[in-house]
Structure 1
């Protein structure tokens, strides 16, 4: 196993607390990287709170109207000055979230290119889909390996991407390592 081959179990261990248990997020929203916030539907639907946080861009990783989605769209944020982007991802082991990794990274990168840009990346709970997209962004745009990216997000927020998403991040990690894309290579 090379330095960049990581197992889903190792990543699950990294997400768990010191006792080996998972915790749901203790806050509705957390800043996990400068100007990148991860959170839940409660904050996503509270435009006053978003404005108070200074959010300029929203990436909804759970766009849709089922119980596992958050039913917002660009029209929901009309008049707020917030730029919206939605992805209809499901939080299941077999859903291929990796098809959104590049698209999500591009949106976050464009949001942060604005002088005062702050991006709110959310799903229903801010626990699986949205942190996975932020981790992929850190890997793709900041050349972090999976350990560094996942650790950074986990230090700021309780997260628990499902095993399918963790496998997809492992695959991204192996691809980027093979291309020599990490700073520490």
Structure 2
């Protein structure tokens, strides 16, 4: 699909393996890396059956945290993907994917140097953080140092927390998160980096909801386009639920929970206009 004026979809949609090679060394996990740089600039989260080995230099606490997190991910998201926080010990501490020309979805920045990379290499002007405080504390991230570096480099840091592995929290938080994302993209000052912890649940859900509500495509198209580039397991029902909440203009409307699974996978033009107005109305809240 060619470029469009609002930057929703463009020629950026290519094969996730295009121009990439696998680096295979005994001392490294099996990673997707750039031909030009020894860094993760696409996605380094692999299916659990792929046999990735943990970095042998990781401490026991980090390993225990990753195991605990991945167990919760597989249970709540029914996803075979894993988050490897310890990649940051020897390589750029993020994994991310370009979704459009101005939208990147990825994992949490772990240190100020990650902010420098996003600014210098990816021309990021906004960061939208979907983590709760307890998520950041769990991984031992110094958020203050990251926010400080954002200010120093001219990146606008925004937060719209949602509870991890909680579809109801995601559903209720999506409108405000998409409001921040849509505003940042509309400003046109640079790319927007949207992240949660692993970049596999909350962050891609926000990006998909944005594409669904503002880019004129149905939910399946938005979902398939993102997940074909970044394999992940965002909760589609939460997006449908948030769509229902925003489009509802009748207090006697049938409850969402009683609707069939395909309900609100698509919306009429008047519903999209209503949703866009209500989402834009959340700016500054």
The two structures have a TM-score, normalised by structure 2, of 0.49
How big is each residue's C-alpha offset from its partner over 1:9-49, in whole Å with a ceiling of 9 and x where there is no partner?
Answer: xxxxxxxx9x9x73448970110122100111146751111
Which residue of the other structure, out of 20, 34, 43, is the alignment partner of 2:101?
A: 34
1:90 aligns with 2:156: no
Secondary structure in structure 1 of the residue aligned to 2:127:
strand
1:49 aligns with 2:122: no
What secondary structure, in the 3-state scheme, does the structure 2 residue paired with 1:121 have? Answer: strand
Evaluate the alpha carbon distance shift between residue 25 and residue 68 of structure 1 in structure 2; reply closer, same or farther with a 3 A threshold. Answer: closer
121, 139, 142: which one aligns with 2:215: 142
Residue 179 of structure 1 deviates from its aligned partner by 4.6
Q: How many residues align?
A: 162
Unmatched 5+ residue regions in structure 1?
1-16
- Does the CA-based 8 Å contact 1:44-1:122 persist in structure 2? no
Bigger relative contact order, structure 1 or 2 (CA pairs below 8 A, ≥6 apart):
1
Counterpart residue number, 1:160: 233
- Secondary structure of the 1:160 match is coil
How far has the Cα of 1:143 moved from its partner?
2.7
Q: Structure 2: give runs of 5+ residues left out of the alignment.
A: 1-46, 50-78, 85-93, 248-263, 273-285
Matched, 1:121 2:181: no
Q: Structure 1, residues 132-175: CA drift from partner, whole Å, max 9, x if none?
A: 111111111113211011111112111112xxx32211324565
Greater Cα radius of gyration, structure 1 or 2: 2
- Check conservation: 2:171, 2:241, Cα contact below 8 A: no
Q: 1:98 to 1:143 in 2, by over 3 A?
A: farther
Q: Structure 2: how far apart are the matches of 1:69 and 1:90?
A: 18
Equivalent residue, structure 2, for 1:22: 80
TM, length-normalised to structure 1: 0.72
Alignment of 1:72 onto 2:143: yes
What root-mean-square deviation, in Å, do the aligned CA atoms of Structure 1 and Structure 2 show?
3.1
| In 1: Cα distance, 2:141 partner to 2:223 partner | 24
**Aligned CA distance change for structure 1 residues 159 and 118 (closer, same or farther; 3 Å):** same
Q: Which residue of 1 aligns with 2:276?
A: none
Report the secondary structure of 1:31's partner residue: strand
Helix, strand or coil: the match of 1:131? helix
Task: Give distance in 1, aligned partners of 2:205 and 2:117.
Answer: 23
